[in-house]
Amino acid sequence: MTPSDNNSAGEFSTIVNADHTVKLAIMLLRPRALSALGRLPSLRHQYARSFGFSSRPGTSPAMDYIPMPYIEETSAAGRKTWDIFSKLLQERIICLNGEINDYMSASIVSQLLWLESDTPDKPITMYINSPGGSVTSGMAIYDTMAYIKSPVSTVCVGGAASMAAILLAGGEAGKRYALPHSSIMIHQPLGGTHGQASDILIYANQIQRIREQSNKIMRHHLNLAKGEDRYSLEEVNDMMERDKYMSVDEALEVGVIDEVLTKRPETVEGEEKKKTQEGEEKKTTQEGEEMNKTHESEEKTTEAT
């Protein structure tokens, strides 16, 4: 819902007049927008704030400069090189890092759809470290998570703010996690426009609709975790009225996550493999004991003879 994708601010555009008056395009969420405010000298120290990104002028999302590790495997067929994200994808792990925009959304949605087509019933794990971003891009990911047959577990590492917090809460019920020192922030959408009165009214109605939609989604997932009638829509609306920062314990209490992880849990496949190995070891031990008993019995028979 961003008017322009060709500007330096990414998923929104800024209009600055001689007095440094800033008007933001509609349908963005706060963290990324406020990073843009930080680029204006007269406003930088007064208003700039961000969640996970520096507000220094010209700073781009860390994802743009992420170093790409590669893994080399050698087999009878020869050598094969994988980038780290492709290798993780083979293990049904998706990493959502950085600003949520159209490019990020297209990548995540594609990965979700491919993993479902590969093995529909196997779970997917999505690791989230994001300050949020475009509502429409985020909703594309959210709807795809609900659309596919594969259950999607979410894990917050570092931080999940704004639209990213909705994705974190939108994971499979009972399988929404956060690591101990993560931070989570929820709030209402932020938008703005300029123009004639009728256009401003259209934008205002649209952003209000998006706010109501976000509140209903959050209420649904909070009540799944805490009970069907724990939160009313009005209570969720009040909760998301302003920026609400939460530690993992607070997020657990509210119902945004289901558990705080300190160690990686056993996967279903890992548990089954472990049980199989234990069963085989037990069977081998029993067979060994039976062989020993048979051998002892034969020795006694020989001695008696």
Q: Which residues are marked as active site?
A: 162, 187
- Mark out the alpha helices in 23-149 (DSSP H runs): 30-37, 44-47, 84-90, 102-118, 135-147
Burial (CB count within 10 angstroms: exposed 0-12, middle 13-18, buried 19+), residue 155: buried
The residues, any chain, with a CB within 8 Å of residue 246's CB and separated by 6 or more, are 183, 184, 185, 186, 254, 256
Q: Comparing C-alpha atoms, which of 111, 173, 123 is closest to residue 151? A: 123
Tokens for 277? 């190995």
Q: Largest Cα–Cα distance of the chain, in whole Å? A: 114
- Sort strands 70-75 and 78-83 into parallel, antiparallel or unpaired: antiparallel
Torsion of CA 116, 117, 118, 120, to 10 degrees: 50
Tokens for 256? 């945004």
Tokens for 247? 């530690």
The residue behind tokens 């996550």 is 257
CB 175 within 8 A of CB 68: no
Burial (CB count within 10 angstroms: exposed 0-12, middle 13-18, buried 19+), residue 110: exposed
